[in-house]
Amino acid sequence: MLSVPCPWCGPRDETEFRYGGQAHVAYPADPAACSDAEWAGYLFMRDNPKGWFAERWFHSAGCRRWFNAVRHTVTYEFAAVYAPFTQPPGVPS
Amino acid sequence: MTHPDFLWADPEPKRGYDVVVIGAGGHGLATAYYLARNHGITDVAVLERGWLAGGNMARNTTIIRSNYLWDESAAIYEHSLKLWEGLSDELDYDILFSQRGVLNLAHSLPDVRESVRRVNANRLNGVDAEWLTPAEVKKLVPIINTSQELRYPVLGATFQPRAGIAKHDHVAWAYARAAHDLGVHLIQNCEVTGFRRAGDRVTAVETSRGAIEAGRVALCAAGHTSVLAQELGFRLPLASHPLQALVSELLEQVLDTVVMSNAVHVYVSQAHKGELVMGAGIDAYNGYGQRGSFHVIESQLAAAVELFPIFARAHVLRTWAGIVDVSPDASPVLGLTPVENVFVNCGWGTGGFKATPGAGWVYADTIAHGRPHPLAAPFTLDRFTTGALVDEHGAAAVAH
């Protein structure tokens, strides 16, 4: 089981969390102006890297707050957690 | 008993091929075989970064069925099931295909309604399907607990008698030998690292064993497809997740059909040798690590023990994970890509094994003719732009 470092509560078991997928997928500023392809990009297309990944977590059985994390998708190691709507800290190389 | 002869050669890559298939799992091997057998395209290489059929083909739970809800899905999975029914003869190799039937249990009134609807939809599509009462389930599977006192009692099940299991390694070896016999090069330890481009076309595949020129490129890399697409400069609607499975020690035969439960979430069959083979859902997070979290194993075993109390004394021998590429509508992506001579077959998520012959068949046809095979046409990448999704989430007889 992963130990997820909630920025508000500290490290907790993965079973306390819900996963939210890729972070920083912004709602289109003017949805009505989107082409079908742009809308598909917003709704469906996702980064799916083998390596560091900025993603969202929700501490559903804890503080019930969302946060973002940078986690490695092969080692599953967390490099950083940070508040929603803020930019990710530097990603390890 | 002497060591058997090698079933296929281990050639050095040629300078180039008409078709380069990336990934020597079940789908890649089947695609190469049908390219040669159905379309006479034998100048084909299948590139594999590890060893042949060592990815998801070695990690699945071997369940084969075609009882999907939607017409488009039923058509392609039933095409695949029909190919399974003749595959041992076709490939002259016993793949231990056992049509022992698959039960999908219903545990709530919504489950029952969805299941009966799916039975009716299956029958309209020519897919064998029956609705069984709890007593009929008990008769078919004497070790199952049909007590109505359970937290999630068995309220009935759908049953597809023609569904079953096959021996995954034999399937891979049979396709590999048959493809090799038709002239296909199977090249292992050959990781694709990039692509050479000329305008909208790929001219060569760069690999750990040098550049290989390619007339057409067929992606068949399951959980790693997004990594290749990123190199090629287009996006896919995929998330790669660990999918775990496990086997018990060898036991006397106690289960001669396949039982799947969506609501308490476990699926189980008993292999020919005697292991109980179980699986459940994906781990929630994106992951390429071929391992998942233990609580996922714990919850599927809890479900299994509730349904089959005698399993409580069985020991887990081994757990593992594959990397499955899950699409937003739980249906595959099969067809053309924004790169002119590159084709894609991915997004099979948790259900790719059963599709092995069917996917290989329609993908080979798609590559040979440069347009989607009719059975693949509903599954093109375009559907995410047009909105014509084939939403099998919850409809496909299993949660994804």
Nearest-CA distance B289 → chain A (Å): 4
CB proximity A55 to B under 8 Å: yes
Question: What pLDDT is recorded for position B396?
Answer: 59
pLDDT over 70 at A92, yes or no: no
Using a CB–CB cutoff of 8 Å, tell me whether B288 touches chain A.
yes
Q: How far is B346 from chain A (nearest CA, A)?
A: 13
What predicted TM-score, i.e. pTM, was given to this entire model?
0.96
- Chain B positions in Cβ-Cβ contact with residue A73 (cut-off 8 Å): 240, 286-289
Residues A11-70: tens digit of each pLDDT: 999 999 999 999 999 999 999 999 999 999 999 999 999 999 999 999 999 999 999 999
Contact B328 A43 (CB under 8 A): yes
Length of chain A: 93
Interchain contact B285–A (C-beta under 8 A): yes
Strand B44-47 vs strand B185-187: parallel, antiparallel, or unpaired? Answer: parallel
Rounded Cα distance, B156 and B202, in Å: 52
Q: Where would I find the beta strands (DSSP E) of chain B?
A: 16-22, 44-47, 63-64, 102-106, 130-132, 156-160, 164-165, 185-187, 192-198, 201-207, 210-219, 239-250, 258-261, 266-270, 275-282, 316-326, 333-336, 342-346
Specify which residues A77 forms β-bridges with. Answer: none
| HSE value, Cβ hemisphere, 13 Å, CA-based, for A5 | 12
Q: Quick check: A21 and B224 CB within 8 A?
A: no
Do B276 and B259 form a contact (C-beta atoms < 8 A)? no
Residue B201, beta-bridge partner list:
B198
* Closest CB to A40 among B226, B288, B385: B385
Residue in chain A closest to B299 (alpha carbons) equals: A15
* Cross-strand pairs, B217: B20, B342
**Distance in Å, alpha carbon of B381 to nearest chain A alpha carbon:** 11
- State residue B395's pLDDT score: 61
- Test A50 with B287 for CB contact under 8 angstroms: no
Using CA atoms, how far apart are residues B225 and B241, in angstroms rounded to an integer? 12
Contacting B residues, span 153-212, partner chain A, CB-CB under 8 Å? none
Q: How many residues does chain B have?
A: 400
Instruction: Map residue B55 onto helix, strand or coil.
Output: coil
Cβ neighbours of residue B328 under 8 Å, at least 6 residues apart?
A43, A44, B237, B384, B389
Residues in chain B with CB shorter than 8 Å from the CB of A71 are 285
* pLDDT per residue as tens, chain B (400 positions): 566 678 999 999 999 999 999 999 999 999 999 999 999 999 999 999 999 999 999 999 999 999 999 999 999 999 999 999 999 999 999 999 999 999 999 999 999 999 999 999 999 999 999 999 999 999 999 999 999 999 999 999 999 999 999 999 999 999 999 999 999 999 999 999 999 999 999 999 999 999 999 999 999 999 999 999 999 999 999 999 999 999 999 999 999 999 999 888 899 999 999 999 999 889 999 999 999 999 999 999 999 999 999 999 999 999 999 999 999 999 999 999 999 999 999 999 999 999 999 999 999 999 999 999 999 999 999 999 999 999 998 665 665 5
Give the gap in angstroms from C-alpha A84 to the nearest C-alpha of chain B.
18
DSSP letter, residue B70: S
Q: Measured between alpha carbons, how far is B389 from B328 in angstroms, rounded to an integer?
A: 9
